[in-house]
A = this chain, B = another copy of it.
Amino acid sequence: MSLIVQKFGGSSVADPEKIRRVAKRVGETADKGNKVVVVVSAMGDTTDDLIALAKKINIKLPAREMDMLLSTGEQQSIALLSMALLGMGYKAISLTGEQAGVQTDKVYGKAKITYITPTRLEEELAKGNIVIVAGFQGVDAQGDVHTLGRGGSDTSAVALAIGLNADYCEIYTDVDGVYTADPRVVPKAQKLSTISFDEMMEMASLGAGVLQPRSVEVAKRFNMPICVRSSFNYNEGTMVQEVKDMKNLENEITISGVACDNNVLKITVFEVPDYPGTAAQLFTVLGQEKVNVDMIVQSGDMLHATNISFTTGQEDKTNMESILQEATTKIGANGFMISDDIAKVSIVGAGMITNPGVAAKMFQVLADNNINIEMISTSEIKVSCVVKASEAKKAVLALHTAFKLDAE
């Protein structure tokens, strides 16, 4: 008998029929003698509908009240899923984030889980209940409701699995698992049977979109295996877990996948005066404005000035113009340019650091395909190149083939 936490997203519980389908799936897991905790998101577009409603009342969307409002979406799904299970003859009970013991910090809209006190949850499991928990939410020490930010239900599920010492956490989604590349872009992409936490974290943050990067980070820290699988079929999914075998070191295929992120903004600041502290000043201003800077390249081809380029996510586009106006004036730079017509293509692989030729091979493949590299960044398990958006697909296909990831 295992203790399994299963998470179903909003599209899986979008209407009564889908809720019953999820209930059937959950029931099957319980029928096998497992203890099951289910984490669900709000039904379909509920969250967006509530945001639209709130905007009609107060365009500023006050943070605390938004959390009070939005957390009702998950509360509705847990009640309905529990009713569906009861209707099928299972013992089931729904718990809000608060009742499930999900404690958060005091940040509204994107709270972090501080700890889990699963007393009630364990009691209900001991009574033989399937326990349905509202994802995306928790309460602070004062009892105020906080949401975890978009996609926070993945993190809820992983955190509950850890708090309960579950055997593993299943994340149900609309794809079969984690692929070597986006199957919509690369028809020959292959499903990975396992992937390490580190690789998954890179894949997630590089736009693979299957899991919330935060949830993988938490899973890694507490070594909680995650199984990503489809809610539409019974195919085996991908296990995200600590990979300890030495296969990668001896195998030519050292990379797990090719990721592509189109949500990139590239900014170049021209002729930044070249004396100590100016770059720091620039990034201090950006930091104060909560701009999340990713890659940075400095090109020093002038005598007393350099150009500095960096990337951020496109969500920062709205205020970027005014922020840069302020920053460039402050440091005495000669203007800036913002470009969103780019993409970041990355190869990810845990064995990469032991194969110094991998980065060189990536650059060579891109060069062979006449794809210009605008920026480069590397880490222990990935190499990322910024290319023109129009060339991203060609780059992904070429890299997928070159690194022998194509299915036969």
Residues of B within 8 A of A96 (CB): 68, 145
Which of A77-85, A229-237, A314-322 lies on the face that meets chain B?
A: A77-85
Q: At the interface, is chain A mostly helix, strand, loop or mixed? A: helix
Q: How far is the CB of A44 from chain B (nearest CB, A)?
A: 12
Judge whether A58 is part of the interface by a CB distance below 8 angstroms. yes
Residue in A79, A99, A145 whose Cβ sees the most chain B Cβ within 10 Å: A79
Judge whether A72 is part of the interface by a CB distance below 8 angstroms. yes
Q: How far is the CB of A52 from chain B (nearest CB, A)?
A: 10
Which of A59-67, A110-118, A192-200, A364-372 lies on the face that meets chain B?
A: A59-67
Q: A76-B50, A94-B65 are in contact. Are A83 and B99 (CB under 8 A)?
A: no
* CB-nearest residue of chain B to A67: B79
Residues of B within 8 A of A82 (CB): 62, 65, 68
State which residues 1-33 of A face B: CB under 8 Å: 16, 19-20
Residues of B within 8 A of A66 (CB): 79, 83
Query: In the complex this chain forms, how many copies of it are found?
Result: 2
Judge whether A287 is part of the interface by a CB distance below 8 angstroms. no
Q: How far is the CB of A51 from chain B (nearest CB, A)?
A: 12
* CB-nearest residue of chain B to A84: B57
B79 touching A58 by the CB < 8 A rule? no
State which residues 258-289 of A face B: CB under 8 Å: none
Q: A53-B16, A56-B16 are in contact. Are A94 and B75 (CB under 8 A)?
A: no
Judge whether A144 is part of the interface by a CB distance below 8 angstroms. yes
Cross-interface CB contact of A72 among B61, B75, B98, cutoff 8 Å: B75
Flag A364-383 by CB within 8 Å of B: 1 or 0 each: 00000000000000000000
A65 touching B53 by the CB < 8 A rule? no
A65 touching B86 by the CB < 8 A rule? yes
B57 touching A68 by the CB < 8 A rule? no
Sort A-B residue pairs by CB-CB distance and give the 5 closest, nearest first: A69-B79, A58-B87, A72-B72, A68-B79, A58-B83
9 A-B pairs besides A16-B53, A65-B83, A66-B83 with CB distance below 8 A are A16-B57, A54-B83, A58-B83, A59-B87, A62-B86, A69-B76, A69-B79, A72-B75, A75-B75
